[in-house]
Structure 1
Amino acid sequence: MGRTPDGPGPDAVLFDRDGTLIVDVPYNADPALVRPMPGARAAVDALRARGVAVGVVTNQSGVARGLFGRAGVAAMRRRVEELLGPFAVWAVCPHGPQDGCDCRKPAPGLVLAACERLGVTPGRTAVVGDIGADVAAAEAAGARGVLVPTGATRAAEITGAREKAHDLRDAVALLLRPGADGGGLGTHRKGCLR
């Protein structure tokens, strides 16, 4: 990664996809509808420039609901990377809310799987998302969670978040600020990423 274990900032930042990196279009598998959130490319590029690994952790229950298949998820991944550049890891939960898996956020499985594939510890990883489940997954995995609220974020999620940022640029600035190490939080179970 080109970073020292005790250097400022995280070794990896994992982003939620819908509502965080791209505008949320519910159950979307049409790459033509993908629009980056304001400042997304600049924020991700700022991390890349500092040698921080970037990844995506996303719930995609449309697969379980039969609305689209894994090919639709892959097409969206390609489009996101065309617009925002390559991500070192993608961890996708294809399960529905009732499936009881360990990977669907707020469970920690996606975060743990992404960290394992990147070779980083959760305690040196941050997760940036727009809803409470993103932050809860980070904390359950022992990672740092930063909430970037949108119109879909509930008031209780905003009040309950330990760290929040106005937008993605502010989130990245918060994570890269010297001495701003959120440390490890919470406990976890082994994930069921498929």
Structure 2
Amino acid sequence: MKKFSTRDIASVAVFSAIWIVSQTYLGPTISLLTGIHGVIQRFLGWLLMLVLARISGRFGRVTIMAMVSSFATRISRSIQIYSLFVGLGYVVGGLVFDLLYFLPKSKKGISKKYTIFVSLVSGVVASIPYMLLYLFTLGFYGFLVWFPTYAPDMVKSVILSILGTSTGLLILPLIETGVAYLHRK
């Protein structure tokens, strides 16, 4: 991992703060209005992962942002085993996003299709710790009974991750123009 610059640290701090504040204050309201849990965590989290990865251009920044955001939002809630496993999922999802995003070394850059693939895989992986918790607490047969009730929520979560990344792809040109402008000043 390359050395962190002051700009990297500031970017991780700002993006983490946006994710934390959004999860803490907007998340419950949006979940209540839409009836879908985790809209902010997935949509905004994956949008921020993409933007941070593109702006920093370096491995590790997304993982640190996911760790900071997950830790901060877990301590602001009641500490339940469930909450810790959900938080672990966001950390693992961020790590997988980071790994897959920076894996290809192409001079042309990363394609939109590949970026969506990264979002899909990291979105699925983010659900694994939560599913493992239920596997261990319910046992194998209990898990088999429970999983069909959870599968639609998992699909919604992955779709929200992909929508967040897709939105990030749409707004990245504007953000990159702004960042380039700031670098000229």
TM-score when normalising by structure 2: 0.37
Give the structure with the larger helix fraction: 2
Q: Which has the higher strand share?
A: 1
TM value normalised by structure 1: 0.35
